[in-house]
Structure 1
Amino acid sequence: MQIGKKAVLVIFGICIPLLAVACLAGMTWLHSEVDAIRSYVIEKELESIQSQVNRDLERFQLQLDNFSINYQIETPTDLLPEAALFGSTHVLQLKDGQLEPIDKQQPIIPQLPMELLASEQAQAGVYFDKVQALGYLISISAKDAESERLVSISRLTDDYLATLGFVDFATQIKIEAGSAKPGLVLADNTVIAQLAIPALVHQQPVHLSIAFSNQFFSRMAWQYSLLTLGGLSLVIALQLMLFIWLRNAVFKPLNYLSEQVGGLGLDLKGRAYINGAGIHGTGKNEFGQVTESINQLLDSLYRQESQSQVTLEFIAEAVILTDIHCEVSYINPYAERLLQLSNAQAQGKRIHELLPGNQSLSDKVNAFMQSPSLSIDSIFLRLNCDSPKLLSASLAHFSNHSGEIIGAVLVLKDTTQEALLKRQLQRQSYLDPVTGLLNRTTFEERFMGYAQSSQSLAVVYLDLEQFKLINDSSGHAIGNKMLKKVARVIESCLSDNMLLGRIGGDEFGLIVRDSSALAVAKLIKKIIAGVGCQTVTHNDTCYRVGVSVGVALSRVNKDTDLLGLLKDADIACLAAKRKGCNQVHFYDGRDIDLSYQRNAPKWAVRIVQAIEHNELILYYQKIKCLSSHSHRQRLEILLRIQEPGGRILPPAQFIAAAESFKLIVDVDKEVIRKTFLWLSLNEGLWDDHCLSINLSGSSLGAEGMVDFILSQQKRFGVPSSCICFEITETSAIQNRSRAMKMLLDLRKRGFAFALDDFGSGFASYGYLKEMPVDYVKIDGCFVKNLASNAKDYAIVKSVNDVCRVMGIETVAEFVENQEIIDKLEVIGINYAQGYGIGRPQPLDSYQGILAPEKQMA
C-alpha cells in the first residue's frame, strides 16, 4: 500500500472517527457536569428555603408568647392595635373548646382539629386547609391556669411564598398537602422539586412545591456543546490541511523517488543515479538533499562493488559463490586457474562437480546453510589434477536484508607448500638440525615412555673434550662436522633398543635398558675408542676429541625419578671430567660431594626463599683478647638458615650452592644489612664492640658493593669503627686488583679488614706486605695441633712475628682448649677464636648477655 493511501486511512479512517467519539464523550461528560451543578444549586436553594421557613415559625411563636404576656395585664380592646401589627396575622382565644376572635371583625378562620386544641403543649407549624386550598402558619400557646390559651393564625400568601426563593430562579412556590417526594422533575424547561416543611398536625403533612428555572443550565450546556463541536471542527480542518500539505510536500516526491530507486540496477558499467529534477512541490529542497544523499550512497556502493570486484579478481585464493541450492553463481579468476574452468562454465554446476573426488562437499555446504552458525572450521580437501594439491576450504553464508540465508561463499586456499613446510618444521622441532639425533626436549619426552617397559635403566651422559678448541680455532662449521662424525660413531655402537639424543652443545645422552653395569661399561669403552679415532682437518691441522662419561644406574619402579637420573648422570660426568680425558664415573648416592652437587639447585631455590622471607639468621662467635691493647670486644658474624619448622641449617649445606648459582653476593648483602640493622638497635655497643663480617670472593670488587655498604652505613647511622670485613687469603689472591681497590676505598672511610685462613697458600708472605689489612687470622689447620706439634708451633710463631713487625694484629682460629690458649699467650698472639672460647650463638641473644654488665657500669 502506498504511503499516501496509508495516510488517508489513518487520518479519515482512524483519527477523525476517534476525534468524533472523543467529542461525543466530552459532550456527554459536560452535560453530566451541568446536571450535577444544577442539582447542587437546587439542593442549596432548598436548604435556604427550609431554613427561612424554620426561622419564620420561630418568630411567629415568639410573637404569640409576647402577645400572651401582654394580654394578661391589659384589656383586649387595648391590645387590638398591637394585634393589628401582625398584618394578616389573627389572634384567637380558646374558651370552652371554642376559638373566639379577639377582633370581632376578623375573617373566618380554618376549622382546626379538636385533638389539636385539646393538647396542652405549645405548638407551631403549617396547616393546609383542603376545603379552602390554603395554607396557614399557626401557633398555639401552652395551657396556663391563670389565663386562657391563645392561637395565632397567619395565611401563607403567594407574596410571602415568593420571598422564600431566589428571584428569577425559584419561579413558583406553592404549598400542597401530603408528603414531599424526593428527586427533581424536569418539565418544559422547568425543574420541579418538593420540600417538606414542619406541619402543625403530624398526621397531615404538608410540603412546598417549588418550580426552578432551567434556562441558565440549558444555556450553559448549549455553550459547552458549541465549544466542543467548534474544537472538533478545527481539529478536522487542521488534519485536512495537514493531509493536503503531506500529499504535495511528501507523498508525491516520495512516490517519485520510489519509482526512480525501483528502476535502478547496480550496474558498474552503467552507474545509474536518481534524477532530482522531477521533484516538485513544497518539499523540493528537502527531497533534493535526500536525492543527493541517495546518489552519494549509490556512488559509495559502486565504489565498494568495484573494489570487491578487483579484490576478487586479484586475490590469491579461490572464491566460489553459490545460491541456496548449492549451485555455483560465480568463481573468481584465481578459482578459474585453479579449477581450469571459466566463470561461465562453472555457473549452474554443483560444487562437488568442480572438485572431483569430493562428492560430499555439496552436502556439507547445504547442511552448513541450514545451520544458524555464521562460520565453520576449515575443511581440508584434496584436488586431483595433473599435480595433486592440498586445499584448505572455509565457509560462510550471506543473507538478505530480512536475515534470510540466500547463499554461501567457499574460499579455497592452496596449502600444499604450507603442509610440506609444516612437516619439515615438525621434523626440526624434535630432531637436532646438526646431527639428526633427537633434541633434548624430544629425548626427555621419549625417555618417559621408554622407561615404562624397562626393569632397569642406565642413563649415560657423554661430554666431548677439546671440542671448544675446534669451534674457537676453526669455526662452527668444522665443529658441526666433528659433531656429525661423533654422532655416527655412537649410533654405530648402539642396538635398536637404545635411545640416543644430543642434549647440549657438545653433550649427548644415552639410555640403555635392562643391561648390567658391566655390559654398559663395555659399551662405553667401545664408544670412547670410536670417538677417539674421529678426526677433522682444517688448514692442515688435524683435530681430535675425547669424551668424559657419567653413568647413573637404577631399578625402575613407579617412584623412580627419571629426570633425576639424567641429573645424576650429569653430575657423574662432571666427576669424570675431573679425573681427566676419556674417563668414566658411575654415580654413587653415598658420595657426599656428588650428593651436594645434586642438591645444589634445591639449595639455590631455598636461599632465594630465605632472603625473600627474612629467614637468614645471624649468629655470632666471640673472639677473645689475649695480648692486645684494644678495649673493643670482637665478634665474628656467622650465618644460618631457619627452616619453617624451626630447624637451623649450618652454612656448609648452602654456601657452596650459593657460590655455584651466583647468589653469594646477595647473601653477603643481606648479612651486611642485618648486621648494620642490629647495631643500629644497640647503640650502646658502638664504643666498645667490633663485628667481623665475612665477604666472599665474588663480593670483592663486585659492581656496586662499596656503594651498597656505604648506603647501609648512612641508612642506619652506624660508625665504621664497629665493622671489620674478613676476606680469605685465597679470594684475595685470585681477585688481587679488585680486592686492593675495595680495601683502599673502605679503609679510607674507617672500616677494618682481616685476612682469613692465612697460611694455607704458598705465597702468603709475598702478598701480605701488599695487602692493607688490620688483622691476620691464622688458618686453624696450624692451630688445632699447636700444643703437640712443634712444626705448627713454629709456623704460628713465625706468622705472629712477621705480623708484629708489619703492625698487624693476629687472630688464631680453631682454639679448642686451654692448653692451646696458653701456648698462644706464650707466642704473643693477640686474639683467639674457637670452641674453647665460645660456641656460635644467635646474635639476638647477645643483648641479654651484655645487659647486666651495662647496668654495673
Structure 2
Amino acid sequence: MARSFSHSKIINFSLIALAFFVLVLTGEVVWDSYLNYRAVRDMSQANAMTDRLIEAAGIEAVERGLTASALGSPVPASPVILKSIAGLREKGDANWNRALVLARDLAIRGKPDSEFVDAIRQAEREQVNLIQARSRADSCLKSDACAYTAIEWQKVISQFIGVSSRLREAAFLPVDTPRHVAQLNLSLKRWVWLASEHAGRERAMLGYYISARLPLPPAVLDEMKANRGVVDRSIFDIHVVAGLKSTDPRIVHAVREMEQSFLGRYEAVRRQVYREADNGGYSLSGTEWFEHSTQAIDSILAVSSSVSLVADEFAAQAMRDTLLNMLRHALMLAVALILAIWSMTKVRQTANSLFKQKELAEVTLHSIGDAVITTDGAARVEYLNPVAEQLTGWKTQDAYGKLLTEVCVLIDGVTRESEPNPVERCLRERKVVGLASNVVLVARDGKEYIIEDSAAPIRDREGAIIGAVMVFYDVTQMRHTPHLLSYHATHDALTGLVNRREFERRLAELLVRARNLGQGHAFCYIDLDQFKVINDTCGHAVGDKLLRQLTFLLQEGMRESDTLARLGGDEFGVLLENCPLDRALKIAESLRQVVKDFRFSWEGRPFDLGASIGLVLIDADSVSIEELMSEADAACYAAKEKGRNRVQVFRPGNLELARRHGEMQWVSRISQALEENRFVLYCQKIAPLDGMQERHCEILLRLLDEEGKLVPPMDFIPAAERYNLMPAVDRWVIHHGLSAIGRHLRERPGQPGEVFCINLSGASLGEENLEQFISEQLAMHQVPPRLICFEITETAAVANLEHAAVLIKALRAEGCRFALDDFGSGLSSFMYLKFLPVDYLKIDGAFVKDMVDDTVDYAMVQAINTVGHVMGIKTIAEYVENDAILEKLRELGVDYAQGYGIHKPCPMEQCLAGSCDVV
C-alpha cells in the first residue's frame, strides 16, 4: 500500500509537471513571436535610419561640391550661392539629426560597448569638426582673401560622410535581419553610397578648378581617376545585383535609369571637361558643371530610394505576419493545454486501476531467488528484482526505459567479444531461448559474473508478444577457472608489461564502460624522444636495458587501477581508469617528468631522454579503439612537431589535430597507391602569346582512390609533403612521365616536339642522387633533355637554395630547362634570381587573375615580366581564365599563358594524341 501511495504521488507530480510544461511552452512560443515582432520592428527602424543617412549624405555631397566650386571662384560668393548652401545645410542636418535619434534608440536596446555605439560616437565627433569647417568656409566665401582651401574643406566633409556610411552599415549588426534584406541594405546601398560619394568628390574637385579656370594638376588628375575607378566598380556591382532573377523590378528599373543618366548623358559632358582640363579652357561654367553632375548623381541615389521602398514593404509585411503568428500560436497552444488537462485526468484514472495488479506482481517477483528482468516489446527495461539489481549494479528506477543491452552487458568469457542478449533473440524468434556457455555479465561497477540464464516472451490476451522476461543466476564460484590465454600471450617478454594485444582488449573494455555507464577514462600514447640515438650508438642490447629500467620507474608513478603497456619499440600506452582530464594531464606530466629526469649512462657517456605524449579522453562519444589509437598517435605527433618532450591533448574541435589526423589517414593510402600504380598523369597546355615560340605543356598529377574516383592533388599532396612521401611521388611522376613522352616521340618521329614541364617538390631537392636518377630516366626512355623543363616553386627553391642551385646548374648542363613556379608569392623574390639560373618565371596566379581590375596586381605582373626579360628569362602567366586577362598579358609582352581560359587539363594520353585541344 505504501508503494502504491508512492506511485500515486509520482503520477500526481507528473500531471502537475506536464501541465506546467504546457504552460511554459505556450509562454515560450508567444514570447518567441513577440521577439520576432520586435526584431522586425528594429529592422524597420534601421531601414529608416539608413535612408535618412543616405539622403543626408547626398545633400552634404551637393553642399561639398557647391562650396568647393564657390571657393574656387576669384570673387566672393553671391547671395544666391550663400542662400543655396545654407538651404542644403539645413536640409542635410535635419535628415542627419532624425537619423541620429533613430540610431540612439536602436543603441539603447543593444550592447553598450558594441561597434554600433562606437560608430555613433565617432559620427558625433565628426559632426563637430564639420560645423567648425563650415564656419571657416563661410568666412572665405564672404571675403576676397581666404587661407582656407577647397581641398581642406573637402577633406573634412568627406570624412564626415564616410563616418556616416560606417554608422549606416553598423546599424544592421545588432539587428536580426533576413539575408536578402541585409544584402539590399548592406551591399546594394553601400555600392550606391560608394558610387555617389566618389562621383561627388569628382564633382566638387572639378567644380573648384572649373570655377577657378585652372588646369587640373597631374596629382589631382590621378586622384580623379582613382575616384572614377571606385565609381565604375560600384556601378558594376549594382548592375550585377540588378541582373539577378530575384531582384525586385523596381530596383531593376532604377538601375536602368541610372545607367542612362550617369553612363550616358553625363559621361559625354564629363569627357568634354577632362579634355579641356589640360589648359583650363573650360566651355562650361562651374554652375553648369555642377548641375549636370548633380543630376547624374541623383540618378544613382534613386537606386537607394528604390531599395528603401522594397525593404520597407518587406518590413511592413513581416510585422503583419509576425502578429498573425503570435495570435495563431496562442490559440493553438491554448487548445493543446485544454486537451492535455483532459488527457491527464484519463491517464490518472487508468493508472490507479493498474496499481493493484502491479503491486501483486512485484511481491511475487521479489520473493524469487534468481535474478529477474522484464522488458517491453522493444527490449527496454521495465523492472529488475532485488537479485537482478545486485548482480547488474542497476536500480530499477535508473534502468527503467533503457535498452537491456545497456543494463545487462554480456561478453564471451574467452574472446571478450560482445555476446548477443537472449531477450533480443527471444523477441525475434518468438520462443524461449538460453545463453551460450561461459557468458560473463559485466556489472555497472565493472565486476564480472559468470551466469546461466533463459529468456521467454510475455504475451497479451490475444497472444501478441508485448515483452520478455529474463531469468539468470550466478555460477561464478562453480565454474571459475583461469583465463585460457596464458600470461606470456598477454605480456611483453622484455619489460613484463601488458603487450599491445592485451592493451587493446582492456581499451575496448573501457570504451564499453564509457558508453554504457557514462564513465570517463583517459589514454596516453608515449613515444620516447632520442631513443633511436641510443640504439644506433650503443646497440639494441643497451637499448633493451634502458627500457627495462625506465619501465620500473614509470610503474612507480601509476595507480593500481591504471594499465601501463609496451606497444612496440619505444612506444608505450597508459590507460587511466575513471580519470577526468585535469587529473589525466597531471599524471601525463608526471610521466613525462620521470622520463626527462631519467639519466642513463653507458661506458661513461650520459644520454638524455624525453617523451612526447598524446592524451585522448575515452567517453561516450568515442567511436572505436582504432579511432582512439589514431587520435592519440596524431596528438603525439603534434607534440613532437611542437618541440618534443611535451603533452598534447587531442580535442575534437582542434582543427590542427583534426587536419593532421586526416593527413595520417592519407599516409597509408598514398603508399598503397604507389604500390598499386593508382596515380594518373594529366596535361595542361601552355600557349605562346606571340605564336612563334615553342609549345609547352605541364604534367599534372591525380590519384585514383580505392573506388576508382579521381582525387585532386590538394587532397593528398599536403599529407605527402608533411610525411616525406613527396620524393617517392616525384620519382613516380618522372618515371611514368618520361616513359609516356619517350613512347610518344618514337611513335611520331619528325613531329615538332613540345616542352614538357614536370614539378619537383622541395623535399626532392635535398636528395643527393636525384640528378643521377633524372639522367638515367632520360637515357632509358630516350627523351632529349631540351624537351624537359622542371618546375620548382619559389618558396621551395629559397628554402633549399644551395641544393636547388646545384641541381639546376647540373641538369641545365645536360640540356634540361628550369622554371621558377609561383614567382612573386615569396619574400625578396627578385633577389634570389641572381642565384637561380632559370629559363622561365611562372608569375603567381594570385596576381594574374585580378590584374584586369586591380592596378596593384597589374603592376606586380608588369614588374615581374620586366625584370625577367631584363635578365633574359621568359615569363609564363598562370590562372589565365578569360580573354580580358589574355589581352592585358599581350599588352605587357608576357611570353606564355596558362589557365582554364587557354586549356583545361586532360589525361596525358589524350593530350599527346592531340584529342584535347587548346580553348
Interval of TM-score (by shorter of Structure 1 and Structure 2):
0.3 to 0.5
* Larger strand percent: 1
- Larger relative CO (CA 8 A, sep 6+): 1 or 2? 2
- With normalisation by structure 2, the TM-score equals 0.39
Higher helix share: 2
Q: TM-score, normalised by structure 1?
A: 0.42
